[in-house]
Amino acid sequence: LKGKIAIPSQLEKLVSSQTYVDIRPGFTVKTIVIDPGHGGKDPGAISPRGLKEKTVNLSIAKYLKTKLERAGFKVILTRADDSYPTLQKRVNIAKNNKADLFISVHTNSNRSSKVSGTEIYYLSPSRLNSNARAVKLAKTENFQGKVMPFDVKAILWDLLITKNYASSIELSNSLYFNFKNLGFKVKPPKKAPFYVLRFAYTPSVLVETGYLSNRYEEKALRKKHYQKQIAESIALSITS
């Protein structure tokens, strides 16, 4: 009114108090598991010129490991050579090492050679229904002194994923802006129910670093300096 800005009284008190409010989630990262997708008998995508996804994934993952270790993190690869750990084994590595973060590195492909760009995925919680399960069980059961049934385990699992969901989104957004700021063509983060995201027991993201089906990105993905730039973009999202 008359050139003045009206704000809610509670917000006015907060601003005038000069109190710092940290709205970041309680998310401390010490141990990071990096998962180079595919490997061994599973080559993943293969470019028209024969470049295999599993090779690119591992190379980027190793560069990323080096960068993060220099920054002081403990970093574990789900595979360090041309082997094929099962999806279950990959997520168990994260669980057994009590990882604070799980990053799966992949390379994309499409029937159209025109499609290009980096893509970032985080867990989709669309199948989570913890509240509904909890209400149903509360009406019918008293579990004191009983062995925990499957449905209760499912509720606790859903709650764990929900807790990790916010941190996964935060990291996904950070990845998006860092890739964009470093000049990559990158699409906004998307939800996806990938196995390694659902069962890694920790905040998780999956990065599709580029398209082997696109001649320009395939050519770039062959080069070490480009792979290092991708690793740098991911590392900055964690260290900055």
From the list 105, 122, 101, 121, the residue with the least C-alpha distance to 44 is 105
In the chain, % helix, strand, coil (3-state, to 5) comes to: 45, 15, 40
Over residues 29-75, the pLDDT tens digits come to 899 999 999 999 999 999 999 999 999 999 999 999 999 999 999 99
- pLDDT at site 211: 96
> Model confidence at 150, in pLDDT bands (50, 70, 90)?
very low
Q: Which of the residue ranges 1-5, 11-15, 102-106, 195-199 has the most confident prediction, judged by mean pLDDT?
A: 102-106
* CA nearest neighbour of 238 among 188, 164, 168, 165: 168
Q: Which two tokens stand for residue 193?
A: 């129910």
Beta strand 204-211 with 101-108: parallel, antiparallel or unpaired? parallel
Q: Which comes out higher in pLDDT, residue 23 or 145?
A: 145
Averaged pLDDT for residues 78-101 = 93
At 182-234, the pLDDT tens digits run 999 999 999 887 777 666 678 889 999 999 999 999 999 999 999 999 999 99
Residues 6+ apart with CB under 8 A from 107: 37, 44, 45, 53, 56, 57, 208, 209, 210, 211, 212, 221
Gap between the Cα atoms of 237 and 233, Å rounded: 7
> Other C-beta atoms within 10 Å of 21: how many?
6
pTM metric for this prediction: 0.76
How buried is residue 145: exposed, middle or buried, by Cβ count under 10 Å (0-12/13-18/19+)? exposed
Using one digit for the tens of pLDDT, what is the confidence trace for 95-105?
899 999 999 99
153-182 pLDDT tens trace: 444 445 455 567 778 888 999 999 999 999
What would the mean pLDDT of 137-150 be, rounded to a whole number?
45
pLDDT greater at residue 124 or residue 142: 124
